[in-house]
Structure 1
């Protein structure tokens, strides 16, 4: 047949000459010859089609050789690929046609009732899945057909030009036949899946629900195609399909190589991306399912202020999130998409919490009885649900990382795939990939929840701290110098009972302000602090709360003036009472520097002037507190900084702990929330600064504040020196020289201490 084809081709070339064609003997034979040519082409094309369908290299090779001799190789080869593409479109369209997926009959346990009229229709999940399998089977079978055709074209060579048949079919800059088939087929499949979104709701819901299995099936088909074509291609042809056309640097010609199907991530992604319409619908459905419980928890109504969700509401939300993650399985793309929706759901939840939480004066307001206000109870309820949500997100992270851990090495040990195809081929999530997904999607969720929890609790505890600190400030209304005044205070108010049940002696009776503090603290402990969530963030905030109370107490105590021996005993007793109360919140040994400073300060007040700078514990006390206490031992002419500024002790302390480090000379308003979005030393988040005192958290700011405090002390010392100089009989107090000497010593020691 090849010789006949060659003869026909030669005759067709001869009759192209008009003078030859007009010869009578030629004219008589032309109709029969052309009829023979037409019949031969029809027969060869049928043989080629049969060979393509049967994957017969021999039949395909014979047909291609005859077509080469007939001069129709390029036309019919490309037409054959187009025929295969049309066949794919026809079969896939028929497989997932809506009318095929819906069948009449009675409702069954495996079906979904979609009846809209008198006749009931059942959507059988098994039928839908079989139809989807048929689609991928069509893709697999016809991909092998086109690849086999391309393989034969690469093997066959024109003896005259030494060119491969494939080079005769394609232009140098044209993509391979298989690349064209694959691109067009994936585009067709994408359009078909997009059209299914217009099906009836029940059909569409089943298709969307089957999407994870579809990805598994598509991956399975890709793996099968890769394995079968890799063996056929041979190891010498295992090149990436993206580089299957290589330019020969010697003559500039294109050297085409045979590569396995799905040998590159790009080819694999093409097929998986063809299901993108269903992916989008699947991910959107996941978000809607997760957001529905949230919308029920926070109804959008202006008629009432929504109450915090309950524990059962949070359990429903958690179960929904876990269910959607189970649907995603370990598919990296699906899991990534689902986790993004979890992040959106968490963002929606937090936005609703911000909408209904009490802020500003409503949240900071306190009752005269120290009881909990409705606004505070509301915000505590929100803290509880935020803690439950954080626990759910943490559980999601644990489940993902636990599921990936046993399979962490499988991706790297898969030997039947090329390295380029491994990540998609195995379908297994490694531990590293799991951690990356969690870091990308879930860590921001926990940070978002954490910031909101710290904001709620931080502002709440600030209000309580201000309340208790206002009681500390009342120590300046009592006398710690006159023994008779001390006795009057002791007899008028009575000393508070210690936790041990004993009472102090007359000389060490508790102060009136401490009794008031103890009474208020008992109520605050029961009504406020013990109703907070048992969570890490609450423990951290409470530790900061105690640290701030201790710090402010020491500040006030250092400013007490005058302070006699009896006053020192009473102040030491007050410190012991403070320790006993605060121990009910957190173990004071966990507080660290603030508690050490309290103990060191109690020790310091009993030291002689000459012993203070030589004491081994002096570096644990902030230098400003040492300077203030030394000043309280000096004559009244040496004023304390707040006296010189005509400020109250509370105003001076607040300035010292919040604004001194950045050089602001005025006192801020009471309990300001930390600033945000501003480039200043105080632009810290609630999580970094839950109690609003930056100098307690930032060592650099703390040191800067102490240096600023010394500048204020210097002004006091200079003013005192001028007063003494102006008086003929007055002499400088030894405290003056001691303070001048202490500046460098205390600042250097404090800097070393905070740098440890």
Structure 2
């Protein structure tokens, strides 16, 4: 045992691992150890195993003895159990003998009973079949006045069920009945089919109801309904292809047929006749053929529902969808194969749309209509898109043409555009959706016209001068503005004439586009009116240079007239209106824009009147006269003598300030503090500076500004708080100067002015 000494040595030995099931390195032991060496190692391992067994027996001999004792006891128990098992097996065998034999007898009797039952059932079925066959023969007998096909169908259906449920092969007694059933079924089905066809064609509900009942009794109602729908659809397809086949072969055409895919072109002079024929065919197809087939399917559906047949609630709707889908397919195929048909359907699309809509409306408006005959846009869209493309070209091309030459277009060209618009809108009235699209195209034409006019406008100083007579650029602007007004007036007349037919949405779209004409007219007037406003302010600024406002008195008995600047202002406004504004024919927009100019004139006049300094009593009387003349000056700008709501505020200020001017400063300030009148306190405060001493300068004099700059500052700061704060500065500096000079009192106006300045 030099090589093997214990268990660990055996477990760790690579040679023994192949017997112990451990992991073996990829080594060929047969090449390492010889056979003798391997036998020697095995013998040594056996010796170790024997020694280990002896050691285990010596160490655990008591437990082993105890287990041997229990084994003997277990053998005794097993012997007893074997005896009991043998006894149980004997009992089971006896019991099995008592059960199996009755079971076999019962099974045999059950089989016999089952066969008797099947035979009895077969006999009953045969008897029933013979009875039904005799009854069917009597129902189909020609000796009766009118064969009852409904009952015959019921009998046939019951006979067929009996034949299907039972294997009757080899029974000669029912062979004749089976042949008779086949013959009678074919006869009943043929008669029912003919009755259904006649009933649908003549709109006879009783015939259709009879046929439906027969097919229901035969159990083929679903297939019959599907077949009827398919046949109706096939009929529509046939008639549609015939209606769109406008080729008329002549003797010269024989042998000259075009190749595959080549359309037959109409000969010269026959295009009008072919077009008339095409539309007559389409009218007949939709109003007669398709309408008739839809009515027949609807009659079939109504009859089915009255007979309490389920699953046919949407028969008419499905048929309508199939018909419209088929028509869309055929129309596209024919238009692709014939340029004549394509041009007719696209060029006169509204006529085609009217035919289609009339069919849908006619089907819907019937009192007994039960189908949902919705419009299928697939039928219309290919031709609608092409028509609308041509329509927008017909509307836009005249606009491009009238502006393609030099100068502005004339009214005749606009009248031509209006006629095109009227024509396009008139033919689109067949459908609200088409009218809306055409109305949007009309709106595009109007906006394009406005854009072309805007591109042709003259801008800059040339368009805004108001000193000389209107120049060429201003005359061109007037012409374009008048054309815009003429277009809007004519278009409005067209909309008014179509008020009962044109959809409200379409009229709104066009009206919205026409608003661009007014907007562009305002844009044309804006620089001109701005120049008038600037000129008005320049004239009003000259009042500060008028010495009459500083004169202490006037000759006795001499009436105080208006100032020179006021006469100039009145003349300028009147000349500007007559020269530059009257030529515009859209006087509504002119009056609207002039209201803001009039308001601005009043605002500037009131402002500069309050800035006059010094102002004598004679000057005050002259200023009051100018206030009266100011209303006359702006009258040409106020057509109808009325100002707008916003402009009326300035007019109220003018009237209120004129009422305050004759009052003493104390009364004037008291009325302002009491909230009487509409004159802002900042204006009254500026006016009080006119009677202040020289050491109390006006706000613009204190800041070193000119009157123009002060006016600009007042425009940029409309709030009373900012304006009163500007006037408070000179008052505070005056108060500080008086205190520094230790003067006993202030000027009498100072407390009054301080009260107004404290309102901020």
Alignment pair present for 1:152 and 2:312: no
CA distance in 1, matches of 2:420, 2:206: 57
Question: Structure 1 or 2: larger helix share?
Answer: 2
Instruction: Provide, for residues 677-714 of structure 1, a one-character-per-residue CA deviation record: whole Å limited to 9, x for no partner.
Output: xxxxxxxxxxxxxxxxxxxxxxxxxxxx3343223233
Cα displacement (A) at 1:63: 3.0
Match of 1:345 in 2: 445
Q: Which has the higher contact order (CA 8 A, sep 6+)?
A: 1
Return the alpha-carbon distance in structure 2 between the equivalents of residues 140 and 19 of structure 1.
49
| Equivalent position of 1:134 in the other structure | 284
Which sections of structure 2, spanning at least 5 residues, go unmatched?
A: 1-148, 254-262
Q: Hey, what's the Cα distance between the residues in 1 that align with 2:592 and 2:160?
A: 94
SS of residue paired to 2:408? coil
Partner of 2:314: 176
Which residue of structure 2 aligns with residue 540 of structure 1? 592
Cα distance, 1:467 vs structure 2: 2.8
Any residues of structure 2 matched to 1:189-204 within 5 Å, and which?
189-193=327-331, 198=336, 203-204=341-342
CA contact (8 A) 1:57 1:152 kept: yes
Whether 2:234 is the aligned partner of 1:86: answer yes
- C-alpha contact 1:129 1:210 (8 A) present in aligned 2: no
Question: Residue 695 of structure 2 aligns to a residue in which SS?
Answer: coil
Structure 1 segments unaligned to the other structure (5+ residues): 106-113, 157-163, 231-259, 405-428, 488-503, 662-704, 748-756
- Change in 2 beyond 3 A, CA 1:521/1:183: same
Distance 1:579 1:473 in 2: 18
Deviation at 1:142, TM superposition (A): 0.6
Which whole-Å CA distance do the structure 1 matches of 2:232 and 2:618 have between them? 104
Relative to structure 1, is the Cα distance of residues 714 and 546 closer, same or farther in structure 2, using a 3 angstrom cutoff?
Answer: same
Residues 120-519 of structure 1: matches in 2 within 5 Å? 120-124=269-273, 126-136=276-286, 137-156=288-307, 164=308, 166-167=309-310, 170=311, 176-193=314-331, 198=336, 203-204=341-342, 206-207=344-345, 211-212=349-350, 217-218=355-356, 220-222=358-360, 224-226=362-364, 229-230=367-368, 260-261=369-370, 267-270=372-375, 274-299=379-404, 307-329=407-429, 332-359=432-459, 361=460, 365-366=464-465, 369-401=467-499, 404=500, 436-437=504-505, 440-479=508-547, 482-483=550-551, 510-511=563-564, 513=565, 517=569
SS of 2:375's equivalent in the other structure is: helix
- Deviation, structure 1 residue 181: 0.7
**Partner Cα distance (1:196, 1:722) in 2:** 101
Q: Distance in 1 between matches of 2:177 and 2:150?
A: 20
Q: Which residue of 1 aligns with 2:44?
A: none
Per the TM alignment, residue 215 of structure 1 is displaced from its structure 2 partner at its CA by 5.4
Q: What TM-score comes out, normalization by structure 2 length?
A: 0.67
Matched, 1:624 2:677: no
Deviations 1:443-502 (A, max 9, x none): 423433322222322333112212332232233345455549x99xxxxxxxxxxxxxxx
Evaluate the alpha carbon distance shift between residue 589 and residue 36 of structure 1 in structure 2; reply closer, same or farther with a 3 A threshold. closer
| Contact preservation (8 Å) 1:550, 1:595 | yes
Q: Given the superposition, is the C-alpha separation of residues 268 and 71 from structure 1 closer, same or farther in structure 2, using an over 3 Å criterion? A: closer
Change (3 A) 1:477 1:325: same
Aligned match of 1:660:
717
- Whole-Å Cα distance in 1 between the matches of residues 162 and 228 of structure 2? 29
- Partner SS for 1:85: helix
Deviating more after overlay: 378-387 vs 203-212:
203-212
1:647-675 Cα offsets, whole Å, 9 max, x none, are 43333324433x324xxxxxxxxxxxxxx
> Would the alpha carbon gap of residues 589 and 336 (structure 1) be closer, same or farther in structure 2, given more than 3 Å must change?
same
Describe the SS at the equivalent of 1:20: coil
Match of residue 64 from structure 1? 212
**Cα pair distance change 1:354/1:589, threshold 3 Å:** closer
CA shift digits 1:24-69 (9 cap, x unpaired): 7778987886576556545543443343333333333333333333
Partner residue in 2 for 1:634: 692
**Inter-partner Cα distance in structure 1 for 2:159 and 2:534:** 108
* 1:728 equivalenced with 2:742 (yes/no): yes
Q: Distance in 1 between matches of 2:400 and 2:414?
A: 12
**How far apart, CA to CA, are the structure 2 residues paired with 1:569 and 1:211?**
78
Task: Using the TM superposition, give the Cα deviation of residue 638 of structure 1 relative to its aligned residue in structure 2, in angstroms.
Answer: 3.2
Post-superposition offset of 1:574: 5.0
* 1:102–1:123 Cα contact (<8 Å) kept: no
Per-residue deviation at 1:386?
Answer: 1.9
2:48 corresponding residue in structure 1 = none
- Residues 360, 374 of structure 2: 8 Å contact kept: no
CA distance in 1: counterparts of 2:332 and 2:617, whole angstroms: 88
Determine the C-alpha separation between the residues in 2 that align with 1:732 and 1:525: 50
In structure 1, distance between residues paired with 2:639 and 2:416: 36
Query: Is the contact made by 1:218 and 1:271 (CA closer than 8 Å) also made in structure 2?
Result: no
Deviation at 1:278, TM superposition (A): 4.5
| Greater C-alpha Rg | 2
**CA positional deviation for 1:615:** 6.3
Closer, same or farther: CA 443–595 of 1 in aligned 2, 3 Å: same
Change (3 A) 1:707 1:184: farther
State the secondary structure of the residue aligned to 1:308. coil
In the alignment, which of 712, 724, 730 is matched to residue 710 of structure 1? Answer: 724
Residues 575 and 352 from structure 1, CA distance in 2 versus in 1: closer, same or farther, beyond 3 angstroms? same
Can you list the C-alpha shifts for 1:64-122, whole angstroms capped at 9, x where unaligned? 333333322111211211221222222123223454799999xxxxxxxx998974432
- The answer to whether residue 615 in structure 2 is matched with residue 563 in structure 1 is yes
CA distance in 2, matches of 1:336, 1:101: 42
Which stretch shifts more, 519-528 or 75-84?
Answer: 519-528
| SS of match in other structure, 2:272 | strand
Mapped to 2, the partners of 1:19 and 1:519 lie a distance apart of 121
**Aligned residue for 2:665?**
609
- How many Å separate the matches in 2 of 1:150 and 1:618? 84
Determine the C-alpha separation between the residues in 2 that align with 1:196 and 1:622: 80
- Shifted more, 452-461 versus 349-358: the winner is 349-358
C-alpha displacement at 1:288, in angstroms?
3.1
Q: Is the 8 A contact 1:325 1:335 kept in 2?
A: yes
Q: Secondary structure at the match of 1:123?
A: helix
1:474 and 1:138 map into 2 onto residues whose CA distance is 88
How far did residue 715 of structure 1 move? Answer: 3.5
- Cα displacement (A) at 1:138: 1.5
Residues 243 and 278 in structure 2, CA contact (< 8 A), matched pair in contact too: no
**How far off is 1:147 after superposition?**
0.9
Deviation per residue, 1:218-249 (Å, 9 max, x gap): 5554565456552xxxxxxxxxxxxxxxxxxx
- Shift in alpha-carbon separation, 1:116–1:190, aligned structure 2, 3 A: closer
Q: Is the 8 A contact 1:350 1:449 kept in 2?
A: yes
Distance 1:614 1:446, change over 3 A: farther
Distance 1:598 1:540 in 2: 20
* Rounded Cα–Cα distance in structure 1 between residues aligned with 2:664 and 2:315: 98
Q: 1:150 to 1:132 in 2, by over 3 A?
A: same
Q: If the length of structure 1 is used for normalisation, what is the TM-score?
A: 0.67
| Separation (CA, whole Å) in 1 of partners of 2:558 and 2:342 | 84
